Structures are given as structure tokens and as C-alpha cells.
């Protein structure tokens, strides 16, 4: 139904001569349209009250109805509507203006109300959804060398927390050289939120022993672990040593059991590769004499990861007979304290976790230069071969 313009209806209510010829059509429309009838009724009420006020009270300025007098209403005008608008400017508050507009435009106002309600409902949903969807679960870390900070992020690249790290350049070099991480991110307590496990020496931890630290998603230390100082005997020689955790690796063993693999060292022999459980309890240690750095790899392509440790054997280094080695261990069998097959002398049982113990031969160049090497890193290619880099760390 085509509604009559509000201005035409207003002229109709005021009996303006401009709509004399339209009155019959207007009245026929009012008989059929309830919305326009209501609008006309409201206009009649408003103007009836206005004229009544003008007849009973002198023209004056009121605090409730501020007006501006231009001339007397006694002047004759062919259009009462034009004369009222010409002589008075009625000031209304914003809310009153909105209410008046709604009364004059019932159809438009209803549509706008629905739009406004929908807009605010959508805005509220987006704000609420944005708050609820913020992911507090750590996903990865970033070494920000510009700010010398260790930063932890969620999967949508929002930073959760950061920690000052003074030796960040050294850490970056280690990760680039060995293609290994200095921290692992895993849910070790089974609550669905990842923790960060690392042996990094943050500024507050530089003066103490190097520990394994576990941070929650807020950056709070919830666990710490350090190998206990202990007198180690190898071939009737005692070594009073303070072992620190080197590499930190995560591996899924059997029955979804989480294992954390690390190497215990003091910068010299003896050393060991240790398996910890998710509570940072020592499950077992593979004792060696020399140095070993563990990696994780499914080296035999059987679908299960093994521990591949590279380094050198120092059992006979006093007569210059040390040599580079590669050791492959089965993590499932790395339980209790056991010793390497090529480093007997701790008084322990020979390791059952040792799958392979590979000694790299001494080259003629090494003999001629009296250079001693150690296995340092592994490189895989697209074939069934792996390449082990054996280097002289002194050069």
C-alpha cells in the first residue's frame, strides 16, 4: 500500500488550501490505512493542544517550551502551517526528537528499530565471541634477538608471555647448527593446555645450576629439575661432578606415554643420556664415557622413534685412542641406570636399550695430523642413506 506523504497529511490536518482537491482521496486512504489514521490522530492532538495554548496564554518565553517570537499570530496567512513554522522554533531534546519522529513515521521507525537492534546484537556477539575465542594454549616460541627475549605464542600468532634471555645469540646459533630446539611445547600434565619445557638459562637463572624448567601458559614456573651432584666411579676413579641438562627432546614411547630425553654432562667425561617421565622423574640413564648429544629419529623406518646419540668415546683418550661414535637407543628399554657396551667400568649392568654402537674409523689424515674428531650432526637425503658429519671441534 502506498502511504500518503507526511507533509500532505499535516496540511490535511490543518485544513490547508493546498490539499483541498486531495481531501476526498486522503480520507478514502485513511479509511483503509490504520498507520496513517494513527499518524493523523496524533497530529490533530498535537495541533489542538497548540492552538488551545495560544488562545488561553499570552505569547512568552517558557523554560519548558523555548520559543522565538517573530511577529503576532494575528497576521493572516493563506497557510496556517506556514505561519506556525514561521513564528515559532520549538527546541526539543534529542530523545524527544527521536520519539516525535517515530510517532510521525511508524513504518520507517519500525524498520530502523529492527536494524539497530540487529546491529547491536551482532556487535555484542562479535565482542563476546572475540573474548571467548582467545586461545591461551601455547603453540610455538620465538627467539626475538632484537629485544633479547624468549617469546611464547598461540596458534593464531598472539603472544602469551615473554622472558628476557641474555644469551639469545648463542641459543640461535645452536638451533641453526644442529637443527634442534632448545625448548619443547607439550601437554605434560594432561589438562589440555601445553607447557613449555626448556633448559634455557634465563636471566634469573644464570648464577645457579642449569635446570630443566617447566612453564605454564602464563609464564609461571610450575616445575624445575636438576640432576643431583654425585660421586661417579669409573674404572676405580671417582668423579665428583655437577651434571647439567643439555638437549631437551620429546618422544612418544609406548601406550601414549610421554618421555623427555636429555643428556647429562659437565663439559667432560663421564656423561649419560637420560629419560624422564612427564613428572620430570628419572626413568633411566645410559652411562657413557666421552660426550654424547641425543637426537630423535625413526632411523630404521619401523614407525617408532629411536634415540640417536652422536659424540665420541674417551675411554682411552689418555693414550690418544679416542674416536667418534654414533649410538642408537630404544627409548622403551631405557630404564634404570645402565652402561654402554663400549664404556664398561661403572659397575652397572650393560644397557639393554643399546641397539647399535657404531665406531667411525680413524683416517690417515687424522693419524698424520694427530687430530681427534667427534660425530656432530646428521643430515638426511631422499635416499635410504644418512650422512653423519664428523668434525674437529678444536678448529
Q: In this predicted model, what pLDDT tens digit does every residue of 108-149 receive, in sequence order? A: 555 556 666 666 777 766 655 555 568 999 999 999 999 999
Could you give the CA distance from residue 136 to residue 154 in angstroms, rounded to a whole number?
A: 6
Which pLDDT score, from 0 to 100, does residue 21 have? 83
- Contacting residues for 330 by C-beta, under 8 A, at least 6 apart: 306, 307, 353, 355
All three cell numbers of 45: 492532538
For 61-114, write each residue's pLDDT tens digit. Answer: 444 545 444 443 344 444 445 544 444 444 444 545 555 555 555 555 555 566
Q: 309, exposed or middle or buried, with CB in 10 Å at 0-12, 13-18, 19+? A: buried
Which pLDDT score, from 0 to 100, does residue 89 have? 42
Work out the end-to-end distance of the chain between its first and last CA atoms, rounded to an integer number of angstroms.
94
**3-state SS assignment for residue 88:** coil
Between the alpha carbon of residue 34 and those of residues 38, 131, 300, the distances in Å are 6, 46, 86
Which pLDDT score, from 0 to 100, does residue 91 have? 44
Q: How confident is the model at residue 363 (pLDDT cuts 50, 70, 90)?
A: confident
Tell me, yes or no, if the pTM score tops 0.75.
no
DSSP secondary structure of 133-167: T---S--EEEEETTTTEEEEE-TTS-EEEEEE-TT
Which of 178-182, 195-199, 257-261 is least confident?
Answer: 178-182
47: enclosing H helix or E strand = helix 34-56
Has residue 175 got a pLDDT over 60?
Answer: yes
Name the percent of the chain lying above pLDDT 70. Answer: 74
All three cell numbers of 276: 624422564
Could you give the CA distance from residue 194 to residue 130 in angstroms, rounded to a whole number?
A: 21
Which pLDDT score, from 0 to 100, does residue 71 have? 40
H helical segments located in the chain: 6-13, 23-32, 34-56, 80-87, 94-104, 106-132, 168-178, 364-369
- Contacting residues for 298 by C-beta, under 8 A, at least 6 apart: 304, 305, 306
Could you give the CA distance from residue 260 to residue 341 in angstroms, rounded to a whole number?
A: 23
Q: Which residue has the cell 623427555?
A: 260
| Dihedral of alpha carbons 250, 251, 257, 259, sign | negative
| Dihedral of alpha carbons 6, 11, 12, 18, sign | negative
**Highest mean pLDDT pick, 2-11, 37-46, 147-156:** 147-156
Could you give the CA distance from residue 206 to residue 132 in angstroms, rounded to a whole number?
A: 38
Q: Which residue has the cell 523555548?
A: 66
Which of 28-42, 67-81, 350-364 is least confident?
Answer: 67-81
Residue-averaged pLDDT of the chain: 79
Amino acid at each position: 500500500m502506498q502511504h500518503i506523504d507526511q507533509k500532505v497529511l499535516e496540511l490535511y490536518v490543518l485544513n490547508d488550501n493546498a490539499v483541498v482537491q486531495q481531501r476526498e482521496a486522503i480520507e478514502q486512504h485513511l479509511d483503509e490505512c490504520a498507520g496513517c489514521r494513527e499518524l493523523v490522530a496524533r497530529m490533530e492532538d498535537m495541533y489542538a493542544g497548540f492552538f488551545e495554548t495560544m488562545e488561553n496564554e499570552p505569547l512568552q518565553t517558557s523554560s519548558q517550551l523555548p520559543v522565538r517570537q517573530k511577529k503576532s499570530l494575528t497576521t493572516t496567512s493563506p497557510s496556517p502551517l506556514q505561519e506556525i513554522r514561521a513564528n515559532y522554533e520549538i527546541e526539543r531534546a534529542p530523545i524527544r526528537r527521536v520519539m516525535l519522529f517515530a510517532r510521525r513515521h511508524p513504518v520507517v521507525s519500525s524498520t530502523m528499530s529492527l536494524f539497530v537492534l540487529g546491529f547491536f546484537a551482532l556487535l555484542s556477539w562479535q565482542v563476546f565471541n572475540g573474548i571467548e575465542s582467545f586461545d591461551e594454549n601455547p603453540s610455538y616460541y620465538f627467539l626475538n634477538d632484537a629485544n633479547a627475549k624468549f617469546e611464547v605464542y598461540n596458534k593464531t600468532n598472539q603472544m602469551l608471555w615473554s622472558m628476557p634471555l641474555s644469551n639469545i645469540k648463542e641459543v640461535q646459533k645452536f638451533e641453526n647448527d644442529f637443527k634442534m630446539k632448545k625448548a619443547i611445547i607439550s601437554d605434560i600434565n594432561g589438562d589440555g593446555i601445553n607447557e613449555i619445557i626448556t633448559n634455557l638459562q634465563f636471566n634469573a637463572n644464570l648464577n645457579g645450576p642449569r635446570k630443566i624448567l617447566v612453564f605454564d601458559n602464563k609464564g609461571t614456573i610450575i616445575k624445575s629439575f636438576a640432576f643431583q651432584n654425585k660421586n661417579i666411579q669409573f674404572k676405580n676413579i671417582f668423579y665428583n661432578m655437577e651434571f647439567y641438562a643439555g638437549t631437551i627432546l620429546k618422544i612418544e614411547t609406548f601406550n601414549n606415554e610421554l618421555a623427555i630425553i636429555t643428556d647429562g654432562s659437565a663439559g667432560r667425561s663421564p656423561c649419560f643420556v637420560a629419560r624422564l617421565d612427564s613428572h620430570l622423574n628419572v626413568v633411566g640413564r645410559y652411562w657413557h664415557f666421552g660426550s654424547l648429544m641425543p637426537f630423535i629419529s625413526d632411523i630404521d623406518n619401523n614407525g617408532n622413534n629411536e634415540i640417536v646419540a652422536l659424540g665420541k668415546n674417551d675411554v682411552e683418550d689418555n693414550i690418544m685412542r679416542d674416536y667418534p661414535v654414533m649410538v642408537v637407543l630404544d627409548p622403551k628399554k631405557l630404564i634404570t641406570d645402565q652402561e654402554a657396551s663400549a664404556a664398561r667400568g661403572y659397575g652397572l649392568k650393560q644397557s639393554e636399550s643399546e641397539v647399535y654402537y657404531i665406531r667411525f674409523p680413524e683416517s690417515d689424515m687424522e693419524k698424520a695430523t694427530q687430530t681427534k674428531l667427534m660425530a656432530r650432526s646428521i643430515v638426511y637425503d631422499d635416499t635410504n642413506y644418512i650422512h653423519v658429519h664428523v668434525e674437529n671441534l678444536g678448529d
